[in-house]
Amino acid sequence: MTDSLIRALVEAIHSTPTQAVLYFSGGASQVLGWLAAVPGASNTVLEVIVPYSRMSMIQLLGKVPVQFTSKETAEDMALVAYNRALKLSKPGSPVVGVGFTGSLATTRPKLGDHRFYLSTRTSNRLWASSVTLSKGLRNREQEERVSSQVLLKAIAEACKVPNSTTFDSDLTEGEVPDVSELHFDEDQELEQLIQGKICFKIFPFSSGTQTSNGDRKVILSGSFNPLHDGHLKLLEVAMSLCSGGYPCFELSAINADKPPLTVSQIKDRVKQFEKAGKTVIISNQPYFYKKAQLFPGSAFVIGADTAARLINFLSLSLSLSLSLQPKYYCGSYENMIETLVGCKRTGCTFLVGGRNMDGVFKVLEDFKIPDELKDMFISIPIDKFRMDISSTEIRKGLECK
């Protein structure tokens, strides 16, 4: 593959909407240079990590690989990269996670083969390939180049570059890649989410997405059983109080107090957002401190009842009392502060709307907020939003009909 063909392929990759996270070790190092040397790299590359040492790879994968240079390790790297790409990308952007691990020519003769493994993961596809190189045919630099060519071509295919399969690398006729491929439908992807293999899935139903504040998300979390006008109005008002961002609803498939949602239940609730033309994120994190790690820098839109559960205590002047809940903070005020300060470090804030609680309408000002956390909570003025309707009441009404 000539330099001009490499540049043409990189230009084609950068012209696609797909964003990528790349993890590679033991080879294919020229890929980064090729991607970065062509204008438009920021359209494609979200992050590149080279876990070259043993401990770096173990920390990246969160486990000790059975073999560091193997098809399984490349697939694990691609999956970790895919989840990372989901977190770093703009809502609704197609993403790809790329993993590469190789054992190429080095300063000493190798007893085993010179080989490499690569994998790409997208929302509906896990692709992997292994190549055994002809030993002694190339020096290290040449093996780096040919492995980089194969990896670049795989990235192009994952980005759905037209005619990317026609680009030939410098592999010989005897160096035939061993390729495997799995495809996922939406149900299988949601099952993977419930199982914790992927961190979230975005359904970008919004017709117009605001972007005036970088990649920040303004997120209204809930069970949405059902979605109602109060939810829509609350997020609309929250957006008016924020300096831009991406308005999103977020539904966790995992509930702290109930069994996980089924794929069928998730799809039924997603249909509501499709009908309303609103973007919804399906995650597997029921707790806000985990959501903050998943969506750093976000503004979470919550009701006063949720704020009370977060803070886990109310002002002594209120007749309503709420004790520390062991399942959230192990019954410890110090743990509560430490957990919420951790949320604050991620750059997250909470916009709090008023809510009817046991027959009394409560707003943020009714709660005593610890001094360390006051600037993390922002009140939504009652003159901008007040709606006593709840999903529970709507559901009960529907059940009575």
Residue pair 359/320 in contact by the 8 Å Cβ criterion = no
Could you give all domains of the chain from N- to C-terminal order, each with its CATH number? 3-183 (3.90.950.20), 188-400 (3.40.50.620)
Please report the pLDDT score of residue 108 as a whole number: 84
Mean pLDDT of 10-33: 96
How far is it, in rounded angstroms, from Cα 364 to Cα 80?
38
What pLDDT score was predicted for residue 1? Answer: 80
138 near 172, Cβ under 8 Å? Answer: no
Angle separating helix axes 333-345 and 304-311, nearest 10 degrees: 120
Give yes or no for residue 401 having a pLDDT over 70.
Answer: no
| pLDDT at position 327 | 52
User: 134: which DSSP letter?
Assistant: P
**pLDDT tens profile 292-303:** 999 999 999 999
pLDDT at residue 356 tops 90: no
Judged by average pLDDT, the poorest of 54-58, 72-76, 130-134, 241-245 is 241-245
Diameter of the chain measured on Cα atoms = 81
List 49's β-bridge partners, or say none. Answer: 23
- pLDDT class of 85 with cuts at 50, 70, 90: very high
The yes-or-no verdict on residue 316 having pLDDT over 50 is no
**Do residues 258 and 377 touch, judged by C-beta distance below 8 A?**
no
Whether the per-residue pLDDT at 313 is higher than 60: the answer is no
Length of the chain: 401
Query: Taking a C-beta distance cutoff of 8 angstroms, is the pair 131, 147 a contact?
Result: yes
Say how far apart CA 387 and CA 365 lie, in whole Å: 17
CA separation for the pair 161, 63 (Å, rounded): 34
Q: Which residues contact 27 (CB under 8 A, 6 or more apart)?
A: 100, 101, 102, 103, 104, 116, 143, 144, 147, 148
Q: What is the pLDDT of residue 320?
A: 34
Other C-beta atoms lying within 10 Å of the C-beta of residue 289: 19
pLDDT digits (tens, 9 = 90+) for 173-215: 999 999 999 999 999 999 999 999 999 999 998 865 454 455 7
Return the percentage of the chain with pLDDT > 70, whole number.
90
pLDDT tens string 51-75: 999 999 999 999 999 999 999 999 9
Q: What is the mean pLDDT of residues 365-377?
A: 91
**Mean pLDDT within 136-160:** 96
**Whole-prediction pTM:** 0.89
pLDDT higher than 50, residue 251:
yes
- Eight-state DSSP code of residue 182: E
pLDDT tens digit sequence for 277-290: 999 999 999 999 99
* Residue 232 reports pLDDT greater than 90: yes
| Residue-averaged pLDDT of the chain | 89
Write down the pLDDT at residue 329.
61
Question: Higher model confidence: residue 372 or residue 326?
Answer: 372
Residue 394, pLDDT above cutoff 60: no
Question: What pLDDT score does 393 carry?
Answer: 55
Considering 70-74, 134-138, 384-388, 389-393, the range whose residues carry the highest mean pLDDT is 70-74
Torsion sign (Cα): 226, 229, 232, 237: negative
Q: How high is the pLDDT of residue 328?
A: 59
- pLDDT at site 315: 35
What average pLDDT score do residues 264-280 get? 97
The CA-atom distances, in angstroms, between 113 and each of 98, 104, 133, 176, 251 are 23, 8, 7, 14, 48
pLDDT for position 318 = 34
pLDDT average, residue stretch 216-229: 93
